[in-house]
Amino acid sequence: MPQPSSPAPKSKIDNLPAIKNWKPAPIFSVLGLLASVVVWNNLASYVGEPLACAIQAIVVIIYVLVFYRSYFTEKPRIASSKGISFLNYAIVFHTTASIGDIIGVLCVASVIFGVFLNRNLKRSHDEEDPWTGISYIVAIVFFLALVGFTTWYEGIPHIIANGDGTYKMTQPAANSTQDSSSSTAHQSQENTLQRLTIPGTNSQITISGEWKYLTRNNSDKSLNDGLVLIPPSTGKYAGLLVYATDMSQYVNEYINQYGENPNVEIIDKDAVLGQNSVTINSLQNETAELVEINGIEYWKAQAEGTSSDSNLVRKSVSYFCLVGTNLYEYTLFTTDESDETNEALAADLEQIVASASYQ
């Protein structure tokens, strides 16, 4: 009597339609990638990058927990390989790098996570053994961290590119030492003067009510913070930095040796010129001379050149003076301004230096 044949062993993926029927769909992956670019560009332009990143993180978390994990169950949210391939790439739409100019900005993060999510599905299909991997967990952690980083980055001054290949410095209101209402008042009251204290000292300077200002925190706690002054009506990035450095150790050593207080001439001319290379990498010309303003002697240094991060011409004018035990520095940076604007800003700088009341 013939024996009934034994049934074929059941595969672990027989009841998992998304994995069992998985087939690579590269065209739909590319379409998902392009869709991610469109989504991000529109979202970021409407709500801003910080909020767009938060929305991105929420969408990623919902997708990987609700949709992606369901692909490894008997009732997947989507069973089509084409639909899954599209979403695995489209879901990660934060533009982290630019690749080429033909199709615009592509998403490196989208490519990385899309590849890994699709690979997990292919591996599960080929080995007939469900494998979710940890890619979805990494995606969640990555985008939650991205939200925090973007929020922090948007809250500090930083250089951004303009559409014409030039650059400008952002001045976030959150970091300003004044609130938005007082900032508006400063801009509108042209004849109002602001009296500011130089951080780390009791010395003060006076600036026009049109100027904005904020405190630049120094990560090295042994150094004083500085003032960043932003002039009105400049086309590109221009700013004035004001610092005071404690020189008490050197001043006391000088007094002990020579029996008198030093002046700014103890600072060598080469040391003054050396400050120019901090922000200008390729110097075209530079000068330094001693000048006197309100009975106080200053080193005045001027420089012109280009920086490593752009080919834009940068100009700087600096004043250094030694009063008491503090070395005061005033440095004006301008980028691609007109000669007339540069002359006006240089005159403003000299007026601010002349307004100083040293304590």
Q: Looking at the domain assignment, is residue 4 inside a domain?
A: no
Answer whether residue 359 is part of any domain: no
**Do 135 and 189 belong together in one domain?**
no
Domain membership of residue 168 (yes or no) is no
Whether 151 is covered by a domain: the verdict is yes
**Residue 290 clears pLDDT 80, i.e. is over it:** yes
Residues 212 and 290 in one domain: yes
The domain boundary, picked from 89, 123, 156, lies at 156
Backbone angles phi, psi at 336, to 5 degrees: 60, 35
Of 169, 206, 212, 215, the C-alpha closest to 188 is 212
Is the model's pLDDT at 223 over the cut of 70? Answer: no
Same domain, 181 and 219: yes
Greater confidence (300 vs 99) lies with 300
pLDDT of the residue at 277: 64
pTM > 0.85: yes or no: no
Is residue 149 domain-shared with residue 183, that is, in the same domain?
no
Comparing 323 with 114, the larger pLDDT belongs to 323
Number of neighbouring beta carbons within 10 Å of residue 244:
23
Using CA atoms, how far residue 297 sits from 14, 268, 281, 308, 320, in Å, is 87, 14, 28, 33, 9
Domain that holds residue 256: 176-354
Residues 241 and 280 in one domain: yes
Lowest mean pLDDT among 22-26, 219-223, 317-321: 219-223
Give the model's pLDDT for residue 205.
92
The first and second tokens of residue 217, run together, are: 């925190």
Picking from 127, 156, 185, the residue at the C-terminal end of a domain is 156
pLDDT score at 106 = 36
Phi and psi at 115, nearest 5°, equal -60, -45
For residues 41 and 141, membership in a common domain is answered with yes
Please give the pLDDT value at position 298.
92
Domain of 330: which CATH number?
Answer: 3.40.1000.10
Domain count, the chain: 2
- Cα 258 to Cα 4, 253, 262, 271, 324, distances in angstroms: 112, 9, 9, 22, 16
Q: Is there a single domain that holds both residue 308 and residue 241?
A: yes
- The HSE-up count of residue 34 (CA atoms within 13 Å, CB side) is 8
In this structure, are 196 and 311 located in the same domain?
yes
pLDDT per residue over 306-359, tens digit each?
765 556 677 888 899 999 888 899 988 887 666 667 788 888 899 999 999 998
User: Residues 226-254: pLDDT tens digits?
Assistant: 888 888 866 556 788 898 888 888 888 88
Q: Is residue 163 part of a domain?
A: no
Higher model confidence: residue 224 or residue 198? 198
Residue 24 sits in the same domain as residue 142? yes
Residue 290 shares a structural domain with residue 191:
yes
